[in-house]
Structure formats: structure tokens, C-alpha cells
Amino acid sequence: MKGTRLLALSIFSAAFLSFTPVNKKLIIIDAGHGGNDMGANKNGIYEKNIVLNIGKEIQKFNNTQDKYEVILTRDNDTYSQLTDRTTLINKLNPEMVISLHVNSNPKAEATEEGQEIYTQNTEDSKKLADKISKKFNVQKIEEKNLHILRESKAPTVLVELGFINNTKDREYMTSEKGQKEIAQKFVEVFNEY
Ligand SMILES: [Zn+2]
């Protein structure tokens, strides 16, 4: 009796698994920093936590769509070496990579606000930056020689989501509403890609 039930269960599981889509194209979201690497900070608020929360929101919101699967380079507060991140990226061969960061400058209160995007030296990376810039208040798009941009073979951009030392940006990036809106905009970009 017990054996039959177990067999039925395993047949059911196998049938169920065979219907799980495995051919979805991948997008990698890289939440910068993590663990002892806090990134930018202001008033006890850390870049590493903002980008992780927004990365998870992107993954959650994207789960309601069926075009892409979103993979995170880290899904908790641990540091992942830059070389480990790009090794993972090049192994998974995603359609695109978005590395999330938060800006800061030495001012007590930044007069600068909004997003900045850094690109690879490729048309695809610049096209992706252009698509993102249409959704956000992007102040600057610039080619830059950063590890993740240089080593990732997929179209990759690094997005500075706002200034941690600009009160308006910081409150928006740490609010539930702001994080959900930012996530939704990225998923719109994916669906238009
Ligand atoms: Zn950063």
C-alpha cells in the first residue's frame, strides 16, 4: 500500500516536472556589494540592502510575466567576488545583465539626483541603457571600464539608481512604493527588449 502510494507520487512529480518550462531566456540582476562590503551609506542606510531589495522585487514582479527568468547574483546579504559574478554570468549566457548600485558624493546633501547608467563598449549595451533611460530620470549614460562591464560577455549595464545622500532619492529608493515602481519599470524594459 505504502509502496503504491509512493510510486503514484513519484509518477505525479515526474509528470509535473516535465511541464515546468525550462526554455525561458535568462536575465541576470546583479545586486552590488553585500556582506562586509556595504557600498554607499547615509543615516544607517546601506547601498547593499537597497540594491538587494530592489533586485528581489524585480525577480518577484518578473515572475508574473512569462518571457524571461530573472536570476540574482546574490539573494542574501553576502559578498560575492566580482570574478564569481562574471563567471556565473558567462556560464548562464543571459540575454542581458543589469548591475544595480546606488550613487553618493561627498556633499552632506547632494544637489544631484536621479539615475546614471554605465555601459560596455558595445551597441547592445548602449541600446539597453537607452531603453532604461526612457523609463527613468537618467542624468548620464557613459561607457566605463568596470569589471562587470568588461568581463561580462552578455549585454550589460550598471545602473546607479539614485543618490543615497539626496533625501528625495534615498526616501524613494528605500520606500516600498519606490522599490516596487523601480522594479516594475525594469520588467517593462525586459518585456520591450
Ligand atoms: Zn555600488
Return the ∠ at Cα 163 (arms to 162 and 169), rounded to 5°.
65
**Cα 139 to ligand 1 centre (Å):** 17
**Cα 46 to ligand 1 centre (Å):** 10
Contacts of 101 by beta carbon, 8 Å cutoff, 6+ apart: 32, 33, 39, 47, 51, 158, 159, 160, 161
**Cα 75 to ligand 1 centre (Å):** 16
Confidence of residue 168 (pLDDT cuts 50, 70, 90): very high
Domain count across the chain: 1
Confidence of residue 159 (pLDDT cuts 50, 70, 90): very high
> If you count them, how many residues does the chain have?
193
Q: What is the mean pLDDT of residues 150-158?
A: 98
Q: What percent of the chain has pLDDT over 70?
A: 89
Let me know if residue 1 belongs to a domain.
Answer: no
**pLDDT tens-digit readout, 59-71:** 999 999 989 999 9
Let me know if residue 4 belongs to a domain.
Answer: no
Let me know if residue 14 belongs to a domain.
Answer: no
Domain that holds residue 101: 24-192
**Cα 37 to ligand 1 centre (Å):** 9
Question: In whole numbers, what is the pLDDT of the chain averaged over residues?
Answer: 92
- Which residues place a Cβ less than 5 A from the ion ligand 1? 32, 39, 101
Between CA 24 and CA 130 the distance in angstroms is: 24
Between CA 103 and CA 101 the distance in angstroms is: 7
The whole-model pTM stands at 0.88
